Structure 1
Amino acid sequence: MWNTYLNGRVNIPGPIPWPIVGNLPMLLRTKNPNKLFLELRMKPLWLRSFVKLFKGQTSLVFSNGQEWVAGRKFTAAALKDFGVGTKSIEERIHEETRYLIDFFSKSQNSSIDASKLFPKVASNVVSNIIFGERFDHEDPEFIRLLENVQFIIEQNSPFRPDNFFPILEVFRTTNQLQAAVERFNETKECIRRRIDKQRLTFDPCVIRNFLDLYLAQEGKQDSKISESYLFNTIVDMYFAGTDTTSGALQWCMLYMLKFPDVQLKCRAEILEAIGDSRLPKLSDREDLSYVNATLHEIQRIATTAPMAVPHTTLEDIYIEGKLIPKKSILLCDLMSVHLDPIVWNEPDIFRPERFLDDKGHFLRSENFCPFSLGNNNLKIIWYLLEPWSIVNFIIIAKIVPIHHACHVLKVNPHMFFTFLNKGPRQCVGKHLGEAELFLIFTSLLQRFDLIKANPDQTLSTEGKQTFVTLEPQPYEMKFVIRN
């Protein structure tokens, strides 16, 4: 982030900063910066909103150039061909689900640490798409790969103080940044070995997985994907596919433990619609309204990626006379709409029924955006914070649905900036993540009772921030084969 900042201070609305450190102490005082942002945006004297209608304009962008465009097309095509939107997605996820069912069946009386189990599950689905095969959970190479990914994620949290003040690195007992670089290089070497191995069996007429898709276009003059870009993309897929999906699965299990009545309703609907003679399929979603409502409510109240993925502006722009400089970091506050009392009645209450209509059918909401904005028909109110006076600023976006805009206008009716979001801005693995959550969640509830490892254990819904995700505090649980 430091390298993206411009020199000098920008006169942008926001909390009054301290000298040198700006508003950094404000972030350090809380374990959950996302909740702090929610508090700040409710203070009209601290935060101001700009209003401007963007109709197809490109002056404010989140992408990082043409390389991003080419890379997204390549990755989206690979996910579509080898997992997303095709029958193979079920085959790949079912393969991992069968392993889980077998594992839990053999360890009913064992306490399971969800924070250690589900990263392996999520990573294996990604591995299946990239390499065409899954790892054994105890495979040393797989364990090391996960350790490296987790270490890099922890060292690159956007809320680490030394992420904004590199000089703080010299006060650390060990150079964690260098260690992260070494882990990253080790991960790339592991991927390189996989690529070299797959070249030996590559057949351009039979594309088996993500690597084959790359090998098929390798060396072509019109190819825009380099080997270096491929490495980074695969690592990104592990980061995103492991961190977010694992976190979402952990939240799902936690809320089933906290609300056993909801767990019973979900299981009853699954057994009535599917039975227990086969695993659930993606085509079953239409028959599982309450399950869908529950999954949506969990993702709403426990937004796995509260700030989505940071992006930067490509050029200087002015809005209402205020400069938003080139290379400013843009964070979109997804949690702001998910916990907005204007949008949801009692947003802090877990209530799956809010996603059901009067007849009990699943009800989609335009206010639901767990995988970033994408094509959601939402207006955006940009609340501009100035967290650090010595460097540049981060723009925090509060999301407000169109039909609630008038209510918000009462705060600052003459300075209201909106952005009608269009285009492929959602997470490229959105459909893969949704499929994993649905298939794994329903398959486990179909066959097991989910119970707390310790009946007296208090489960906290306060999350902890990692790279870009919010994960629950560690907890243990048991999977008991249902009667």
Structure 2
Amino acid sequence: MLDVLIDNTTAILVFLVTVVLGWYILTLPRMRNMPPGPLPLPVVGNYLMIARPGVSLLTLFPTLAARYGKIFTFLAGSTPIILINDAKLVKEAFIKNGNIISSRPQHYYVVKKISDRLGLGMTMSNGRQWKELRRVSVTAMRDMGAARTSMEGSIQEEVTELLKVIEKVKDAPVDLKPWLMKATSNIISTIVFGSRFDYEDLRFNLLLQRLAKATSVNIFFLAVNFLPLVRYFCKKEETFIKSLETINAHIKELLADREESFDPSNIRDFVDLALRKRMDDPKERHFQDLNMRRAIVDLYSAGSDTTATVLHWLLLFMADNPEIQARCQAEIDEVLGDVRMVRYADRVRLKFTDATVLEVLRLRPVAPFGIPRYVEENFDLGGYTIPRGSVCFPNILAINKDPELFAHPDRFDPTRWFGENGEVTGRDRIVSFSVGPRSCSGEAVARMELFMFFTSILQFYTVLPGVEGKPVDLTPVLGFLNKSRHQELVLKKR
């Protein structure tokens, strides 16, 4: 009996060793001349490195970047994920080779489920659909926002509404993030629907709650995308998808109202542009109900919680660095006083304030690993071969803390952005909005919002920690976005 057990155990061990050796024999040659990376395990690749207790992408990927250099391979299951940790290499990959690395991966399990239930919209679509939806969204942001008034005017209007709220809660600890999200989401609302929502609107608040919940999950690194067996007992993706479904249903109601008032001779916003495209070509599937609703969801996702998150980081850094806040306020007082509203053109004179926004964007990039790019053909990058079928991410966190670009990269220092002539310079050293054809289409609007909201708050209020004597917690929490921990702040009237 013992001999049989030993023989069976030996046979199982031989089988397992054979499988492991066979996997390495088949896999490692395929990875020859690919960027270096940690030695993968059979079947799971390197994915177990993420699953270890106390490990997150925010700690793991910077560690791997420090070990392997400007570009490395992380094998998730059998999918090579290429992390590019250098600004020049990101631009070479996403701009020079943009024609073969601008698609989104369609083979991800979560992407397939979203496509079946909600469509791909603008963010995850490819080809003509993506180009058409992006073109219409850019046109709306450029020309149609706030019923043909200037985008700057829309932001000034929303600044006024936000300051009214702050005035009611001043001098007491308050969680500002929900109010910041309402303000930034209303800018998107003017672009999409040509009007803003009241802050107490129940449907508006439900929409924002679902958006925040959706961005708490980074769907691109979920195990279900890479390890098929996990799909039978882990449903983390359902939180994200159900949030999208609720948002989609809400958008459907709003669209029904807009379709009744549509006038093709009076194009007011993104919805009207899309409806006219549909009217001009009824067979054009890119602007049919499902894709159009999903594109609107994408616009809200890209322009609400994201901008509000950066604004919240700005206020947290001010509460933690009172000397920098005081210097911003002194500059604002000199240029604007306490009467005139800020304009985006004031950025030229509010140099230290502008540099402070840049510095927070550097230290807390809102999406530190961006959105994946699918490689459609082999290409060379940094002396390595990037194979067809792999997925590339810009490691924005590593780029923004590259010691070759930024001395003492962990230090919060807005003065690093000043050149010898005293002007703010070197904006292209950070890639917080990504680069190339799939870069953030709302970057110009987001930069305008960040500067104008931040400046306006400091013009009238001083930001203090929520609890006197207790340090501000600047530890990030990563879902899809690089969010701050829940905490209150005090805004004291100046």
CA–CA separation in structure 2 for the residues paired with 1:117 and 1:166:
40
How does the TM-score come out when normalised to structure 2? Answer: 0.78
Q: Is residue 345 of structure 1 aligned with residue 383 of structure 2?
A: no
Question: 2:108 corresponds to which residue?
Answer: none
Shift of 1:179: 5.2
How does the TM-score come out when normalised to structure 1? Answer: 0.79
CA–CA separation in structure 2 for the residues paired with 1:179 and 1:232:
17
SS of residue paired to 1:225: helix
Shift of 1:131: 1.4
Question: 2:444 corresponds to which residue?
Answer: 431
Shift of 1:27: 2.0
Q: Is residue 145 of structure 1 aligned with residue 207 of structure 2?
A: yes
Structure 2 unmatched ranges of 5 or more: 1-25, 74-83, 104-125
Question: 1:472 corresponds to which residue?
Answer: 484
CA–CA separation in structure 1 for the residues paired with 2:408 and 2:220:
30
Change in CA separation of 1:106 and 1:323 when aligned onto 2, cut-off 3 Å = closer
Letter in 2 for 1:461: L
Q: Is residue 43 of structure 1 aligned with residue 67 of structure 2?
A: yes
Shift of 1:476: 0.8
- Among candidates 337, 351, 358, match of residue 275 of structure 1: 337
- Among candidates 407, 425, 437, match of residue 363 of structure 1: 425
Structural mapping, 1:407-422, within 5 Å: none
Contact 2:188/2:299 (<8 A) preserved: yes
SS of residue paired to 1:158: helix
Q: Is residue 458 of structure 1 aligned with residue 471 of structure 2?
A: yes
Contact 1:14/1:46 (<8 A) preserved: no
Question: 2:311 corresponds to which residue?
Answer: 249
Shift of 1:477: 0.3
- Among candidates 293, 300, 305, match of residue 355 of structure 2: 293
SS of residue paired to 1:366: helix
CA–CA separation in structure 2 for the residues paired with 1:170 and 1:66:
35
Question: 1:383 corresponds to which residue?
Answer: none
Change in CA separation of 1:31 and 1:299 when aligned onto 2, cut-off 3 Å = farther
Letter in 1 for 2:39: I
Letter in 2 for 1:34: L
- Among candidates 100, 113, 122, match of residue 60 of structure 1: 100
Shift of 1:437: 0.2
Change in CA separation of 1:112 and 1:434 when aligned onto 2, cut-off 3 Å = same
Contact 1:132/1:209 (<8 A) preserved: yes
Letter in 1 for 2:60: L
Structural mapping, 1:53-452, within 5 Å: 60-63=100-103, 64-83=126-145, 88-172=150-234, 175-178=235-238, 180-221=240-281, 225-227=286-288, 228-315=290-377, 322=385, 324-326=387-389, 328-374=390-436, 424-452=437-465
Change in CA separation of 1:254 and 1:321 when aligned onto 2, cut-off 3 Å = closer
Shift of 1:208: 1.7
Letter in 2 for 1:478: V
Aligned residue pairs total 421
CA–CA separation in structure 1 for the residues paired with 2:69 and 2:412:
31
SS of residue paired to 2:208: helix
Contact 1:115/1:475 (<8 A) preserved: no
- Among candidates 44, 66, 83, match of residue 21 of structure 1: 44
Change in CA separation of 1:31 and 1:472 when aligned onto 2, cut-off 3 Å = farther
CA–CA separation in structure 2 for the residues paired with 1:452 and 1:48:
39
Structure 1 unmatched ranges of 5 or more: 1-7, 375-423
Change in CA separation of 1:476 and 1:163 when aligned onto 2, cut-off 3 Å = farther
Shift of 1:151: 2.6
CA–CA separation in structure 2 for the residues paired with 1:106 and 1:82:
32
Change in CA separation of 1:453 and 1:204 when aligned onto 2, cut-off 3 Å = same
Letter in 1 for 2:397: M
Contact 2:193/2:271 (<8 A) preserved: yes
Instruction: Deviation per CA, 1:233-277: give whole Å up to 9, x if none.
Output: 111111111232121111101110111111111111111111121
CA–CA separation in structure 2 for the residues paired with 1:245 and 1:453:
22
Letter in 2 for 1:15: P
Change in CA separation of 1:56 and 1:156 when aligned onto 2, cut-off 3 Å = closer
Answer with 179-188 or 61-70: which moved more: 179-188
Letter in 1 for 2:271: L
Change in CA separation of 1:365 and 1:201 when aligned onto 2, cut-off 3 Å = closer
Letter in 1 for 2:102: F
SS of residue paired to 1:234: helix
CA–CA separation in structure 1 for the residues paired with 2:128 and 2:47:
33
CA–CA separation in structure 2 for the residues paired with 1:454 and 1:230:
45
Letter in 2 for 1:143: N
Contact 2:175/2:489 (<8 A) preserved: yes
Shift of 1:58: 5.9
Contact 1:451/1:477 (<8 A) preserved: yes
Shift of 1:294: 0.8
Identity over aligned pairs, percent: 29
Contact 2:145/2:190 (<8 A) preserved: no
Contact 2:37/2:68 (<8 A) preserved: no
Shift of 1:177: 3.8
Instruction: Deviation per CA, 1:360-400: give whole Å up to 9, x if none.
Output: 332234312211124xxxxxxxxxxxxxxxxxxxxxxxxxx
Shift of 1:317: 5.2
Shift of 1:92: 1.8
SS of residue paired to 1:349: coil
Question: 1:403 corresponds to which residue?
Answer: none
Shift of 1:209: 1.7
SS of residue paired to 2:489: strand
Change in CA separation of 1:155 and 1:293 when aligned onto 2, cut-off 3 Å = closer
Answer with 234-243 or 359-368: which moved more: 359-368
CA–CA separation in structure 1 for the residues paired with 2:236 and 2:310:
27
Letter in 2 for 1:225: H
Letter in 2 for 1:439: M
SS of residue paired to 1:479: strand
Higher-Rg member (1/2): 2
Instruction: Deviation per CA, 1:399-453: give whole Å up to 9, x if none.
Output: xxxxxxxxxxxxxxxxxxxxxxxxx442100011101101100000001111111
Instruction: Deviation per CA, 1:300-346: give whole Å up to 9, x if none.
Output: 122222112212123455777846123x2211112222101111110
SS of residue paired to 1:137: coil
* Higher normalized helix content (fraction of residues): 2
Shift of 1:132: 1.8
